[in-house]
Structure 1
Amino acid sequence: MAGIGFQLERMVRNGGVGGFIGATLDGAVLSSGPWVLTICAVLLLQNWIVRHGIADAGTIQTVMVYAFSGSVVIASPFALVGVRVASDRMFESNPAAIPGILTLALCGATLVAVVTGHFLFGVLAGHGAALALFGTAILVLLTQISVTGPFLTAMKRPWPILLSYAAGIVGAAIIFWCLAPATPIEVLRVVAAALALTLVLLLAVFAAEFPAPSSPDQAIWEKAAPALHVGLAGLMNAFALWVDKWMLWFAADSTKPLGLLRVNPIYDQASFAGLLTLIPGLSLMLFLAETQLERAFAVLVECCTGTSKLSRIESAREDVIAAVLRSLRLLIVAQIVIATVCWVLAPEIFRVLGFDARGIFAFRFTVIGVIFHIAAIYCGVVLAYFDLFGRVVMVWTAFFIGSVAATLVVWPMGFAGYGWGYLAGALAAAVTGLALVGTASVHIVYLLFVGNNPSVVGNRRYLV
């Protein structure tokens, strides 16, 4: 994404205030556009269900919640490993291998999604074959979209992703308007059709970009094996984000609207609304923070691989540290401002959105947690630049453990304790990430030459 970030940075530099506003909007669209469109689609779907009085609306909402959470967890490792291997092939000027990589990633993710969907909607839900079929189809399609999208993003094709999402939403709106589905199964059928349209458009864009036939071979497997630690980092990230929500599906205020499947409407609404405040931070990270780090780190690598004197290498290392600190300060200050505004306006926000007022506590704790979450994400980006994915796994593992522990501690508090798990997990991840980035930045020259050099330490570098 750094190439896109440099384009946005030029908009800021050359366009003054208007350029800054335009770059911010573009950054928000590019970094979080699919997420925002997905949230908008869900809100529109809920509004339509309420306005038309669909019976058993809890069935639809439960299927969507489980499908979204399951697709994120399933797709994360396959998407990240696939993108990592595809990026290596692009660097080797071998784009013909990219279709085979996507095919393998889609096949693996689809297999896991089918098994998971059958268990969730066929066994636990216990509401017949039709719901099992369309629930599983929605989970599979969301997983395939979540795998395909990052490939296009990595190849600097973010706008086709947004257009595909928008086309799916428009297609669903047209079907809803024309056919007016009246049962949960009919609504889920329309949702599945819209997701299928989005996936077809994404694959069409990918096929136009990489017209070579898909041909998985042994070389792809050989390239994927060393990148499995990247997938583990993505998997732990997804688990860390969702674990407190999964746990609170069994809290006292949770409900069981579909067989054995449970949800917590109070916390689910508040948490998702609070997580939307990540978008400004992700935008800044894209067009300011990440580009500054990219530039400083590229200079350091050039010094280390060239004939620079030790003093010049040390100066470049200090520039990397300075870039990290500047970007981190900017991100944290921006999120503090946003969190303060959301904290104060929380009652009005909930009134406008029609959310349960008992979720205000969770919303406030979530927006505070986002401050630490954005710091943890940036630390993960820095460690990824340093190719220290073992430490990235440690960051998200700290998030996971902190979230689980805090959720258990505040469990007796009921809805007043919702959000503390996420806040504590994000804080643990931020502290862990800052400590790991600090030590890595101090020793980055050693890591480049020896400690993380594959020709010196081999595969042991994944444990650094």
Structure 2
Amino acid sequence: MAGIGFRLRELMRADTLSGVLLAYSFAGIIGSGPWVLSIVGILLIGFISTDSSSVPYFVGQFQISVTYLMAISLILTGPLQLIITRFIADRVYEKHEELVLPNLIGAICLVITVIGTLASLCLIYFFAGSVLYRLLMLSGLIILSTIWIVVIILSGLKAYREILLAFLLGYGITVWASKELGKFGLEGLLSGFVVGQGILLFMLMVVVFNSYSSNKLIAFDFLRRNQIFPSLAITGLLYNVAIWADKFIFWFNPQTSTSIIFPLRGSELYDLPIFLAYLSIIPGMAVFLLRIETDFVEKYTKFYGAINGGASLRLILEIYEEMVATIRRGFFEIIKVQGMTIVILLALGDKLLIWVGISPFYKVLLNIDLIAVGIQVLLLAVLNLLFYFDYRKDALYLCFLFLASNIILTFLSQYLGPVFYGYGFALSVALTTVVGMVIVSKRLNLLVYETFMLHYKSGD
């Protein structure tokens, strides 16, 4: 996201309050991306008032359906997300940007073919509901999966206004269309969501086509053997499964969930607090975008540029110290901003829940989730640094730890009872983040030595 970050940082250089607020607002929305904005959308649709007594029932079915669409699409595209990210980053670094667009189209075709086929079989043989409902679920899954892939390429663009407009219009239309079509029941609500997401995807593709050009329509270079990094694919899968593992455990435990539309189950007790909590990461993601993805990348590029350019050891060490200081400052700012956000929301817990029409009974779980998702922003920063320095195995081990600890601790929390719900996810995120920060610290301490040794060996 450095491309967007550099443009947003220009707003801050105006040294005005409005410039800073605009920069952080844009960064929060763009940095959070479709993942958080989708949560905003389905929650807003849930708050829509209507005279029809049957709609609340359909809204619950709709929210669970969309939640599953988000979960499955993120998990299925997880391996490809990191592979295509690495491919695009390498091509941009090599100044072969003409390869970006055709390979993006290739990745989209792969997603549509593979996920479309798997989803069609599952919807035909395992799902209840009308034919229209199944078709809408299939369309929604394909559109969301495609959006996750397209968003990858947007991170390197500087057209933040166009991207922001696409997000706002796309999700605005999603909420409006679902409201207008809600009178037609579950299929109407889901139709509104699919239409809105389809428009969002179209607008994002327009931004991409305006930013890149190529003589080829489609390419699958990213699937060549020398372009596939198995560790990245596994890491992408593990991370996305880890994020959703605790939710699936609560969904498919009969004591903590109810059947919605076979085979989909939901846990109102667990789902509402965690999704509300995810809205709190917007300030933290703004700092992540502006400090880690932008300030750090600038120092990172300068550091390796100095090494490749044959700069003196003294200059390289000075740049290295600047880069480490930037990383440290980025972590501190995330902790400061996200921590302040959490404290405010903890203080407003009861009032916030009443305002959104949710029982204060959820306050304790909401408080735990607020802390958990705040720590998750730090985990994202840790993983981001490991990917930049190409410590792929470390990132893989961290995501495995995240998944394993989340599963074990979530089952333990269910065994201990409702008082401990949410602690499984929170402790797993905290454990993984602490271990990750220790790894990053050790790697940074050895970075200069390892970099020069690798150059020396390659020179031999």
Instruction: Return the TM-score normalized by structure 1.
Output: 0.89
Residue type of the alignment partner of 1:273:
L
Deviation at 1:234, TM superposition (A): 2.6
How far apart in 2 are the matches of 1:218 and 1:144? 16
Deviation at 1:394, TM superposition (A): 2.1
Q: Structure 1 residues 305, 35: closer, same or farther in 2, change over 3 A?
A: same
Match of 2:32 in 1: 32
How far apart in 1 are the matches of 2:157 and 2:287? 20
How far apart in 2 are the matches of 1:107 and 1:453? 42
How far apart in 1 are the matches of 2:456 and 2:369? 39
How far apart in 1 are the matches of 2:256 and 2:209? 47
Match of 1:243 in 2: 245
How far apart in 1 are the matches of 2:407 and 2:8? 38
Match of 1:43 in 2: 43
Does residue 312 of structure 2 align to residue 306 of structure 1?
no
| Alignment match of 2:197 (pick from 188, 191, 195) | 195
Match of 2:369 in 1: 366
List aligned pairs for 1:43-442, cutoff 5 A. Answer: 43-48=43-48, 51-55=51-55, 56-57=57-58, 58-118=60-120, 121-172=123-174, 175=177, 181-212=183-214, 214-217=216-219, 219-222=221-224, 225-251=227-253, 252-442=255-445
1:132 is paired with a residue whose SS is helix
1:154 is paired with a residue whose SS is coil
CA contact (8 A) 1:79 1:151 kept: no
How far apart in 1 are the matches of 2:98 and 2:8? 30
2:224 is paired with a residue whose SS is helix
1:150 is paired with a residue whose SS is helix
How far apart in 2 are the matches of 1:391 and 1:397? 10
How far apart in 2 are the matches of 1:425 and 1:453? 40
Match of 1:444 in 2: 447
CA contact (8 A) 1:366 1:419 kept: yes
How far apart in 2 are the matches of 1:298 and 1:270? 40
Q: Aligned pair count? A: 457
Residue type of the alignment partner of 1:153:
S
How far apart in 2 are the matches of 1:220 and 1:374? 29
Select between 400-409 and 77-86 the one with higher mean Cα deviation: 77-86
1:256 is paired with a residue whose SS is strand
CA contact (8 A) 1:9 1:288 kept: no
Q: Per-residue CA shift, 1:115-142, capped at 9, x if unaligned?
A: 4433554333322433222111111111
1:239 is paired with a residue whose SS is helix
Residue type of the alignment partner of 1:389:
R
The root-mean-square deviation of aligned C-alpha atoms, in Å, is 2.8
How far apart in 1 are the matches of 2:393 and 2:165? 35
Residue type of the alignment partner of 1:34:
P
1:308 is paired with a residue whose SS is coil
Select between 220-229 and 388-397 the one with higher mean Cα deviation: 220-229
How far apart in 2 are the matches of 1:59 and 1:199? 24
Q: Structure 1 residues 312, 206: closer, same or farther in 2, change over 3 A?
A: closer
Q: Per-residue CA shift, 1:63-87, capped at 9, x if unaligned?
A: 1111111112223332332232123
Q: Structure 1 residues 172, 301: closer, same or farther in 2, change over 3 A?
A: closer
Q: Structure 1 residues 172, 430: closer, same or farther in 2, change over 3 A?
A: closer
2:184 is paired with a residue whose SS is coil
Select between 414-423 and 289-298 the one with higher mean Cα deviation: 289-298
Q: Structure 1 residues 84, 50: closer, same or farther in 2, change over 3 A?
A: farther
Q: Per-residue CA shift, 1:273-297, capped at 9, x if unaligned?
A: 1122211111012113433322332
How far apart in 1 are the matches of 2:291 and 2:54? 46
How far apart in 2 are the matches of 1:162 and 1:156? 11
CA contact (8 A) 1:361 1:418 kept: no
Q: Structure 1 residues 299, 146: closer, same or farther in 2, change over 3 A?
A: closer
CA contact (8 A) 1:253 1:414 kept: no
2:155 is paired with a residue whose SS is helix
Residue type of the alignment partner of 2:154:
L
Q: Structure 1 residues 191, 297: closer, same or farther in 2, change over 3 A?
A: closer
Q: Structure 1 residues 96, 51: closer, same or farther in 2, change over 3 A?
A: farther
CA contact (8 A) 1:233 1:393 kept: yes
Higher RCO (C-alpha 8 Å, min separation 6): 2
CA contact (8 A) 1:321 1:441 kept: yes
How far apart in 2 are the matches of 1:275 and 1:369? 9
2:335 is paired with a residue whose SS is helix
CA contact (8 A) 2:83 2:222 kept: no
5+ residue gaps, structure 1: 458-464
2:259 is paired with a residue whose SS is strand
Select between 23-32 and 188-197 the one with higher mean Cα deviation: 188-197
Deviation at 1:333, TM superposition (A): 2.2
Instruction: Return the TM-score normalized by structure 2.
Output: 0.89
1:38 is paired with a residue whose SS is helix
Does residue 21 of structure 2 align to residue 8 of structure 1?
no
Q: Structure 1 residues 99, 22: closer, same or farther in 2, change over 3 A?
A: closer
Q: Per-residue CA shift, 1:173-222, capped at 9, x if unaligned?
A: 66556666422223323322332222223223323333435444564433
CA contact (8 A) 2:281 2:377 kept: yes
Select between 331-340 and 9-18 the one with higher mean Cα deviation: 9-18
Residue type of the alignment partner of 1:102:
L
Deviation at 1:99, TM superposition (A): 2.6
How far apart in 2 are the matches of 1:253 and 1:444? 47
Deviation at 1:268, TM superposition (A): 0.8
Q: Structure 1 residues 220, 51: closer, same or farther in 2, change over 3 A?
A: same
Does residue 18 of structure 2 align to residue 18 of structure 1?
yes
How far apart in 2 are the matches of 1:325 and 1:319? 10
Residue type of the alignment partner of 1:27:
A
